[in-house]
Amino acid sequence: MANERLRGAIVESGMTLDQVGARLGVSAKTVERWINHAKRKPYRRFQYATASLLQCEVSYLWPEEQTSAEVTEAGNAELVKLYPHRSVVPKQLWNKLYEQTRESFDVVVYSGFWLTEDASFHRIVKEKSSDGVPIRFMLGDPDCPAVAVRGEDEGIGPAMASKIRNALVNYRPLFGLPGVEFRLHRTTLYNSLYRADDEMLANGHLYGVGAYMAPVLHIQRVPGGELFDAYAESIERVWETARPISSPTDLGGTTA
C-alpha cells in the first residue's frame, strides 16, 4: 500500500524525488520506498525533516507513528544475536545467510580479506550470479585517506591498503560474472556490513583493534524496526558514492 499523502505533498511542493532526497540527505530511491511502502516508515529524524520540508504535520504524513516504546520493542526484536567478536561467529552462518538470499547480496568492507580466501563463499557467489541475484562488493579505495587512517588505527599501517589489493586479486574469478559488481569507496566505515536480504551481520570497528576482534550484530528486519534499515541505508550511501571498477587492476596502481 502506498503513502498517497506523502506522494501528494511532494507533488504539491513542486519538487522531484531527487530534490527531496538531496534536501534530506537520502537517495531518491529511499524517498520512493517511503511512498510505495507505507508500512516502511522513515526513521523519526527523517519523518520530522520531511514534514518540515513539505510544510505538513508528521501526523498527517504518517498517521500511525510509533511511540518510543514501540520502536524500542521492535529494535529488540531485530537483534538475533550479539557475538563479542567476529572470530566466534560460526563460519557456517555467513554461508547460510548468503545461500538463502534472493534479492540483496552486499559486502561492505575495507578489505574483508578473510572472506576472499573462503572457497565456499566463492561458490555461493557464482551460484547466486547464475540465479540472477544482484551482488555488490564495496571495498576501500587503497589510495584514499580513510584506508590509511584505518591502517594506522589497527596498527598495521600501509598493510591495510595491501590487503585490499590482495583481496581484489583473490576476487579476480568473480569479476565479469552476471550481476556481480565491484566498487571502491573512500568513506570512513564504522562497521563492515554483510547483507543477505532481510538479515545482516554488522561487524563493528574499534580503535586499535582488528575487525576480527570486534563485536558482530546479527540483525533482521522486522515490521516497525529501525535498526536494520539504518544499516541498510548506510550501505546505499556507500554504494552511491563509490567508484565502479571492472578488474582488480583498475586502481591506478599495481595489485602485486
What is the mean pLDDT, run by run of 10 residues, along the chain of 256 residues? 90 93 90 84 83 87 64 74 93 93 96 95 97 97 96 92 96 96 96 96 92 93 82 91 93 49
- What the block records as the C-alpha cell of 19 is 530534490
Write the pLDDT tens digit of every residue in 60-110.
888 865 555 555 666 678 999 999 999 899 989 999 999 999 999 999 999
Write down the pLDDT at residue 65: 54
Sheet containing 191-196: which strands, arranged edge to edge? 79-83, 216-220, 199-204, 191-196, 105-108, 135-140, 180-185, 243-245
Distance CA(230)–CA(18), nearest Å, equals: 20
For the chain, where are the E strands, in sequence order? 79-83, 105-108, 135-140, 180-185, 191-196, 199-204, 216-220, 243-245
Amino acid 255: pLDDT = 36
Residue whose entry in the numeric block shows the C-alpha cell 559488481: 181
Taking the C-alpha atoms of residue 36 and residue 29, their distance in angstroms, rounded to an integer, is: 10
pTM exceeds 0.95 for this model: no
- What whole-number distance in Å separates Cα of residue 1 and Cα of residue 201? 29
Distance CA 206, CA 90 (A): 21
CA 240, CA 28: separation in Å to the nearest integer? 11
